[in-house]
Amino acid sequence: MADANQGNRPLSPHLQIYRPQITSVLSILNRITGVAMSLAAVLIAWWFLGGATDAAYYDVANGFLTSWFGILIMVGSLWAFWFHFFGGLRHLQWDSAKGMGMKAVRRSGIAAVVLSVVATLLCILLAL
């Protein structure tokens, strides 16, 4: 039986009232980047398959991957790789029971985001 004082309040926090924290945002982003890297792996395999089979097929794949949209996907995937990498380093640190305080978690989360952007830009500059 429901408590009469409860009214129409939700039973637990939900997305309309929950204030996202850096740990939850980075956790969700880590999952999204994992899926994004899978998409990039499929596109790269498609490009290799085109190169191994037929020149016309390769031209289609290469045309897509070198278009502005394909480059956007590849740059986004490159960032996803670095974000996933630095997030993995955070988890390795946590596995050793270090950096578990709220300040350290926040600091390492911000560092993972900043380092992933810096590493992505360095890779782009090296590729040019």
Q: Which residues are annotated as a binding site for heme?
A: 84
Render pLDDT for 58-86 as a digit per residue (tens, 0 to 9). 999 999 999 999 999 999 999 999 999 99
pLDDT of residue 81: 94
3 state SS for 69-118: HHHHHHHHHHHHHHHHHHHHHHHHHHHCCCCCCHHHHHHHHHHHHHHHHH
Give the whole-angstrom CA distance, residue 82 versus residue 115: 8
Whether residue 102 is contained in a domain is answered as: yes
Q: Are 60 and 50 in contact (CB under 8 A)?
A: yes
Q: What is the average pLDDT value for the chain, to the nearest integer? A: 87
Whether residue 44 is contained in a domain is answered as: yes
pLDDT of residue 6: 60
DSSP state of 124: H
Give the whole-angstrom CA distance, residue 82 versus residue 87: 8
Whether residue 3 is contained in a domain is answered as: no
Domain containing residue 52: CATH number: 1.20.1300.10
The tokens for 84 are 């996933």
Whether residue 13 is contained in a domain is answered as: no
Please give the distance of CA 84 from its chain centroid, rounded to a whole number: 6
pLDDT-derived band at 7, boundaries 50, 70, 90? low
Q: Which residues are annotated as a binding site?
A: 84
Whether residue 16 is contained in a domain is answered as: no
Count structural domains, the chain.
1
The tokens for 33 are 């980047």
